[in-house]
Amino acid sequence: MRTTPVAELDGLTVSYRSGAGRVTVAQDIGFSLYAGRTLGLVGESGSGKSTVARTLLGHLRDGSRIDAGQVTVRGEDVFALSGSALRQLRGGVVAVVAQNAGQALTPSLRVGAQIREALRVHGLPADDDRVTELLRLVRLPAPETIGRRYPHELSGGQQQRVAIAMAVATEPTVLVLDEPTTALDVITQAAVLALVNDLREELGMAVLIVSHDLGVVSVVADDVLVLQSGRAVEHGPTPKVLGDPREDYTRELLDAAPRIEGVPAPEVREAHQELTLECQDLDVRYPRAPRLAVSDFNLQVRRGETVAVVGESGSGKSTVATALAGLAPVERGRAVLRTGDDDLHDLLAPARARPAAVRSAVQMIFQNADLALNPRRSIADAIARPLKVFGRVSGRAETRSTVLRLLDEVGLGPEFADRVPAQLSGGQRQRVGIARALAAEPTLLIADEITTALDVSVQASVLDLLAELRDRRALSCLFISHDLAVVRNVADRIVVMKDGRTVETAATAAIFDTPRHPYTRSLLDAVVEPGSTHLPSSDADARVVRLDPAASLVEASEGHWVRDDEGAVTT
């Protein structure tokens, strides 16, 4: 190619010790990085993409070793370097930005001190001016003073910017980004990606970006390498690999990725007329908090209908879910659940004070399936619990057969019944979470960010499962998510929230075709998907859409409500 590569992997094979044998995590991987260009490393969890990326810094997890091949950076074999030469390489020549900046920054040190340290260990001038300059480079607000803060005093996006500032402080030759935006909401994600693009041009770095998200790779990478179980599947220029994939696996990944552009709007389903859930003017406040977490929340869910609540972190969307489940106190308002023709139940009581019928009628599926399942109990036990608590079954044989039927319903075989959660993959655990919720025979299912922790292909299959169950059982579903692309295929209606208030609510197609609120528009702009190449500017998350406290929801067209803040289209 044009110039000589700054870093190369050649026939790299890495394995780690597992019991008596060795498991290969990366097999015969090779690629080159060039100054000013970005390579995207794509794969699902367990594909070995992070392991491969970190070998550029001469880093292997404990128990891992290089079986074959080599890693060269600027002509030197990384794994042959001495201790001090390796330290010079790390941070100086090759720098890394880790997935979760909240965990990657040392909690007891001020962020400025951590950036200064990166400069100092590489013998670079580390005065306050340089630190301020770096903070300004990553477009943090108030760069003169923000360095005096501790990591926990910054938002997730700001933490990630600090981590990037720390990595680029030494103007490294190669920048490795290991899932840099997975923990961020869409708007912040888009801004961070744009920042990475800008910095690559300004500093002329070679960038390696690791991601499971084809959309992310699509907007920043020049070339893509697709990994599956430690093997390279496809490697080539981004438009070619994502536009005209040659391998089936790449095609599967592309098909599974949630999209907004270029796909037909979801068909309008015939909804039942009777309401399952009706909320009026709900205010929710966490104990002793000065501000309301959710205010004036209105919602109607019909039988068999899925309503998605969308917003960034801190928008109050999960608070709505926990309040309706009876896990957060409601300060004011009215919430009614209808389970039969004349069975109306008040949903404002805390869970422990609700009658059993209401408790079983409202079931929740949690974001993190491995934390929501008791690690010591078998899958059958976990599912049998609601069956017993709500008296759905009697006798051991009936319990067992019901558990197996529920497992079958969520697409898991009977062999899973006696396993423990640790023996299951993330997607399988989430299916168990769904089966457990179904065991109570709910009327209303609350799904709180249930696909966030899953790979795209798994995410797609869980969403399909949920849609199928909803149709078969005429379930009403409240689907909480931060990702508009995800909800497009499951939701009949969408509620967009910001700062605890509803800013827009309409049928799914209407939200995507004619977004009326500026915040909804910025959410839609920030979605990156395979094939998209544009990004909003890199300080987009600093330009906050402000809500006017005096504004109220108005009906702009039939069934399409929008808050009449500045910039909202109300006619």
Partner 1 sequence: MVRLIGIRLGTGLITLFLAAFFVFFAVQALPGDVAEQLLGQNATPEAVETLREQLGLDSNVWARFVEWLGNAVTGDFGDSLVTGEPVSSTIWASFARTLLIAIPAMVVGIALALLLGVWAAARRGSRTDSTVSVLALVAMSIPEFVVATVLVLLLAILVPVFPATVLSGPDASLGELLPAAVLPALTLVISMTAYILRAMRSSTIDGLATEYATTAALKGVPRRAVLWRHVAPTAVLPVLPVISINVAWLLGGVVVVESVFNYPGLGKLMIDSVSTRDLPVLQAIAVLSALVYVTANLVADLLALAADPRQRTLHQPRGRRRTAEVVR
Binding stretches for partner 1 (CB under 8 A): 54, 57, 59, 87-92, 95-96, 98, 100, 103-109, 117-118, 121-122, 141-142, 146, 149-150, 152-155, 158, 163, 166-167, 286-291, 314, 542, 544
Query: Least distance to partner 1 from the beta carbon of 17, Å?
Result: 14
Smallest distance, partner 1 to C-beta of residue 144, A: 12
For partner 1, the closer of residues 85 and 524 by Cβ is 85
CB of 210 to partner 1, least distance (A): 14
Q: How many CA atoms lie within 13 A of 145 on its CB side?
A: 3
The half-sphere exposure of 492 on its side-chain side, counting CA atoms within 13 A, is: 21
| Helix or strand holding residue 406 (H, E) | helix 396-409
Closer of 288 and 396 to partner 1 (Cβ): 288
Least Å distance, CB 64 to partner 1, is 14
Burial of 216 (0-12, 13-18, 19+ CB in 10 A): buried
Query: Cα-flanking dihedrals φ and ψ of residue 228, to 5°?
Result: -140, 125
Least distance in angstroms from the C-beta of 538 to partner 1: 16
Nearest to 340 by CA among 370, 303, 300: 303
Question: Which is nearer to partner 1, 165 or 440 (by Cβ)?
Answer: 165
For partner 1, give the closer residue by CB, 288 or 376: 288
Distance of CA 454 to the CA centre of its chain: 8
- One-letter amino acid at 268 equals V
| End-to-end Cα, the chain, rounded Å | 55
Element (H, E) at 554: strand 553-557
Q: Which is nearer to partner 1, 168 or 417 (CB)?
A: 168
Which residues in 85-230 belong to E strands, given as ranges? 94-97, 174-178, 206-211, 223-228
Nearer to partner 1, 154 or 330 (CB): 154
**Which residue's CB is nearer to partner 1, number 168 or number 216?**
168
Minimum CB separation of residue 309 from partner 1 in Å reads: 20
The Cα–Cα gap between 4 and 76 comes to 14
Closest CB 98 distance from partner 1, rounded Å: 6
| Minimum distance of partner 1 from residue 176's CB (angstroms) | 9
**Cβ closest to partner 1, residue 386 vs residue 518:** 518
Classify residue 19 by burial, with Cβ atoms within 10 Å: 0-12, 13-18, 19+: exposed
Q: Give the nearest distance from C-beta 56 to partner 1 in angstroms.
A: 10
Among residues 549, 542, 451, the alpha carbon closest in space to that of 500 is found at 549
Q: How far apart are CA 481 and CA 466, in angstroms?
A: 14
Exposure pattern of 281-307 as b/e (b: 16+ CB <10 Å)?
ebbbbeeeeeebbbbbbbbebbbbbbb
HSE, side-chain direction, 13 A CA sphere, residue 366: 10
Cα torsion at 425, 431, 436, 437 (round to 10°)? Answer: 140
Nearest distance in Å: CB 383, partner 1: 33
In the bound state with partner 1, the residue whose beta carbon lies nearer, of 176 and 447, is 176
CB of 99 to partner 1, least distance (A): 8
The single-letter DSSP state of residue 546 is P
Question: Which residues 6+ apart lie within 8 Å of 40 measured at CB?
Answer: 209, 210, 211, 216, 217, 220, 221, 223, 224, 225, 238
Give 87 or 521: the residue with its C-beta nearer to partner 1.
Answer: 87
Nearer to partner 1, 467 or 542 (CB): 542
Check: CB of residue 298 under 8 Å from CB of residue 279.
yes
Nearer residue to partner 1 within complex by CB, 126 or 491: 126
Cβ burial of 264 (10 Å; 0-12, 13-18, 19+) is: exposed
- Judged by beta carbon, residue 20 or residue 289, the one nearer partner 1 is 289
* For partner 1, the closer CB: 98 or 562: 98
Q: How far is the CB of 246 from partner 1 (least distance, A)?
A: 35
Q: Minimum Å distance from CB 94 to partner 1?
A: 9
Distance, in Å, from the CA atom of 88 to the CA atom of 310, rounded to the nearest integer, reads 45
Q: Is 294 helix (H, G, I), strand (E, B) or coil?
A: strand
Distance CA 545, CA 312 (A): 12
Least Å distance, CB 153 to partner 1, is 5
How far from chain centre, in Å, is Cα 35? 30
